[in-house]
Amino acid sequence: MAKKLKEQLDYGNTPERMDPNLERKLASPEGMYAKNPAMKKGAEDVQRLVSKRFQKVADKLRQVTGIEDLSSQQVQGMVYQEMMRKLPNIMRIEAAHRDELIELAKEASLDDAEVPADWYQIEASLGMPDTSNFRMEPEDDEDEEDDDEEGKEKLKFPSFDLDELTDEEILELEKHKRNIINALIQGAAKKGHYLFQKPEVKSRLDAIDPSLYRDYLGIMAINDFLYFSMEQMIEQMSQTGQGVAGKVELDDADDEGGEEGEEQPDTKIIATGLIFPILCHEIIKGLEEAKGRHGLPSDPGMREKVLGQTDVLSNEPMQLRIGPEIVEKIRFALPDDIFDPEYKGLINWFHILLYQIEAKEFLEIIGNAISEDSSKLAKAKKRFEEIAREAKQMKEEFENYKEEEDIDSDDDEGLDDFLSGLGITRPK
């Protein structure tokens, strides 16, 4: 078994190794992503994606510390302790510039995600988050066999026309789809940990205190590494919420705060991070989650079942490990227009359309995009080009509508009607 694990996990020239407990999890055919239809080779795909991510994380930590071999637990422990000693000084500096850093986090996150400032309300704060209302584990599925007719009456599924699939099979597909979207959300949000490296952000941080950049770099690099090297600690955090340093929630936006005649967002993103890089991560995660709602089932009963079994803290470590690599794979399959400054923000319309695709096709598209088979990758690129063309048209129509119509806060119905005409429903 040990030999087989080593064959599947590609460590390249990296001397560091993942925690053996994590290696075993990645090899399990019963893992959350190993069972996902998007992973056409099951655990082999999971191992390939996670091990590639680990190589990048290890490379980053070696670059930051200057230590060529971080494979021993003694060295890792020393690096961890050194980085953690920097945390009190970071928090002391941040406390004296709290408002400035919060505004910078919001600006930098919106710019990186290419999201207009008026799409959402953002309520951000620096400090330790309240984790008391986290959903730690998946909710138990109702035993419908004991009360089959009553269960069917409670949960009415829409007709998806998916080759006569049963309600239970459709639900499973929706859960797999949501798990992939959650990985994409976490993968995109990971960029927030390193927004401080952007020159325009770094210059503003340097004006506060030049030590922030150096200390952020060390703490975030070791933080990433711990997700692969200290499985027992990460598992405990994900099961109890203890030690979790960031949190984001979506809520209905406040009606107050806008000038008369000014359209107000309908969603509030409430983000908390212990320090600046974590706050940026949580804000971007909130922005991505807001788009991710477009991928949820329209039926309220099914939507609650999907969320209850997928959006749990215990799933997040694996999403953070595999998500960045899935995002990277998709990025290389996207058409060039997505990255053209002329079409800034197009990626958001692209995501909305991608997430709205029914579960079966969505999983097929993602599976092709992350495949090492060139013919499957070509299929994904072709489909992404089609979605991008549609996204470009929708973005243009929306911008023209916004310019021509004076939408005030009382005209939400008009905006909803327009978005509905584009095939978009603003999710609550």
Share of the chain above pLDDT 90, in %: 70
Output the average pLDDT for the chain: 87
Give per-residue pLDDT as tens, 40-90.
999 999 999 999 999 999 999 999 999 999 999 999 999 999 888 999 999
* Residue keyed to tokens 């505004």: 103
pTM of this prediction exceeds 0.95: no
* 138 Rama class: left (phi>0) / alpha (psi -120 to 50) / beta: beta
Residue of 264, 231, 268 lying closest to 253 (CA atoms): 268
**CA–CA gap between residue 153 and residue 171 (Å, rounded):** 16
pLDDT band per the 50, 70, 90 thresholds, residue 154: very low
Residue 425 pLDDT: 60
Residue 148 pLDDT: 46
Residue 388 pLDDT: 96
Q: 143 pLDDT exceeds 50?
A: no
Report the pLDDT averaged over residues 170-188.
96
Give per-residue pLDDT as tens, 163-173.
577 889 999 99
Q: Which residue has the higher pLDDT, 254 or 155?
A: 254
**CA–CA gap between residue 309 and residue 306 (Å, rounded):** 5
Give the single-character DSSP code of 147: T
Amino acid code (one letter) for 428: K
User: Distance between alpha carbon 113 and the CA centroid of its chain, in Å?
Assistant: 12
Q: 203 pLDDT exceeds 90?
A: yes
Residue 4 pLDDT: 52
Residue of 392, 290, 284, 294 lying closest to 335 (CA atoms): 392
Please report the DSSP string for 14-47 in residue order: ------HHHHHHHH-TTSTTTTSTT-TTTHHHHH
Burial class (CB in 10 A: 0-12, 13-18, 19+), 166: exposed
Residues in CB range of 375: below 8 A, 6 or more apart? none
> 29 near 297, Cβ under 8 Å?
no
Residue of 272, 269, 234, 237 lying closest to 253 (CA atoms): 269
Give per-residue pLDDT as tens, 254-296.
655 545 445 567 789 999 999 999 999 999 999 999 999 999 9
pLDDT band per the 50, 70, 90 thresholds, residue 238: confident
pLDDT band per the 50, 70, 90 thresholds, residue 424: low
**CA–CA gap between residue 123 and residue 270 (Å, rounded):** 5
Name the strands in the sheet holding 246-252, side by side, starting at the edge strand that comes first in the sequence: 121-126, 267-273, 246-252
Q: 136 pLDDT exceeds 50?
A: yes
